[in-house]
Structure 1
């Protein structure tokens, strides 16, 4: 066997070993949480991965407990995530379409500002946002969460969606304008039908963000019946002296199921939207 072939085999073997190790590191914690959701008792620790007996008591407790308002938290999070997704995607699409198709003074500066602002973490502006919402009397409301989540969407996703719109031939716009179509009609009847991959990508990202956000929701929401899932689950563990981890695991499984299903069903469109949006800047 030649040296080149030996190096190729070693490199390929090392790649598979690294991939197997990464897969184990990714799957094992998730599998432990899933098994913990069906494990009797309150302790998440166990000598074996698979419990000797399985139970659904933790799932029943989530929906029957008067202290843990899990169904209410679930609906609150679903409402905030859906409306944030709709408004955030709309703002992102309009912003990216304007920056991609129109040429106006300050366009390059606007792109630079979006790029720079997108580099800063969102929690840096939380104090200012908190004071602003307090003056507007929007604290402890879901409207405040929806407004902030939706307004922040263009900062992180405009450049990617603009890159996707740049891949759509401008000749389609010009042909539509010759036929008398307005910019809004071109956007709704030509651009959006061709933008299904990036639309799926934006919708999933804008849905997942509010779905799992804890820091901002904990800062704004004060009433227990208005909490989202992240805030409620944090309180679920902290108020029980960090002992009821199997109940926490059951809630984590229920939270992860819809997101996992969405990613599995839309995986192809998600990848197409990401790769196409990154091909042009």
Structure 2
């Protein structure tokens, strides 16, 4: 009994230490965004005086197109979320509910491709986009994000569909429903948790991606937030840390709000999709 309590106490202490290590840097960035000046160093975490100057500089600067980059990122992340969720759901619904020749081959191919990191495909994707004359366009980013999401989220969606009893399909067919009606009226409402999970993870991935956006987008007016914020740090180093902190806070706000409001669906979708392969 004593050993069990000691183990539980150590677990709580470890969790508290991990929480402090995660929360402290975030609070430092938030408070730094309201601190006057541009220096990284400060004697206290909480500023003695507060200012909104850095937030104003983000949108009023002649060379720092934060507003444009913010809108570009919102557009790319939103479209990637819509198309990737639709494409992944349709593909994995077919692989889960139907039996056809080559099905196992497709599943094995997707599994093998998903084992490789995404940046290994940068060169062939870049050449393909160059041949299609899609470089430096947001359409190219959305297409790659939407197609790539099938590899990373596909088996989670398939696992969720596998848990839905086939008796529902059979009952709907007896009542005269076709495949599209079964998918739209029965499967999609039941799959809401997994759809929220896939949509949220895809949105987050597109929101923070840097490598592919930096490779494809070359014009400053088409950059995303990740590329633009990197340019700020790369150009001015630590002299504009407080403005960088203000930008980081604005970047984190949408993702934080989404996770807070959709946490219930996120956890339920992840655990349900992983319950059966």
TM-score range, shorter chain: over 0.9
Q: Is residue 86 of structure 1 aligned with residue 82 of structure 2?
A: yes
TM-score by length of 2: 0.98
Offset from partner CA, 1:141-196 (integer Å, 9 cap, x none): 00010010001011011100111111111111111111221111110111001111
Range with bigger deviation, 104-113 or 9-18: 104-113
Residue among 19, 22, 25 paired with 1:23: 19
Superposed, 1:67-216 pairs within 5 Å as: 67-216=63-212
Aligned pairs (5 A) from 1:29-40: 29-40=25-36
Cα offsets for 1:104-134 (capped at 9, x unmatched) = 1222222221111111111001011001111
Structure 1: gaps of 5 or more residues: none
The answer for the alignment partner of 1:273 in structure 2 is 269
Q: Secondary structure at the match of 1:181?
A: coil
**Displaced runs of 4+ in structure 1, greater than 3 A?**
none
Q: CA deviation at 1:241?
A: 3.6
SS at match of 2:239: coil
1:12 Cα offset (Å): 1.2
Post-superposition offset of 1:48: 1.2
2-side partners of 1:250 and 1:30: how far apart?
12
CA distance in 2, matches of 1:174, 1:27: 50
Mapped to 2, the partners of 1:138 and 1:243 lie a distance apart of 36
- Structure 2: distance between partners of 1:13 and 1:81: 42
Q: Is 44-53 or 33-42 further displaced after alignment?
A: 44-53
Deviations 1:33-55 (A, max 9, x none): 11111111111221211111111
1:245 to 223, 229, 241: 241
Report the counterpart of residue 65 of structure 1 in structure 2: 61
The answer to whether the 8 A contact 2:39-2:238 is kept is: no
8 Å CA contact 2:35–2:47 kept in 1: the answer is yes
CA distance in 2, matches of 1:262, 1:156: 20
How many residue pairs get aligned? The number is 277
Asked if 1 retains the 8 angstrom alpha-carbon contact of 2:197 and 2:269, the reply is: yes
| Partners of 1:270 and 1:174 in 2: CA distance | 29
Secondary structure class of the residue paired with 1:42: coil
TM-score by structure 1 length? 0.97
User: Equivalent residue for 1:56?
Assistant: 52
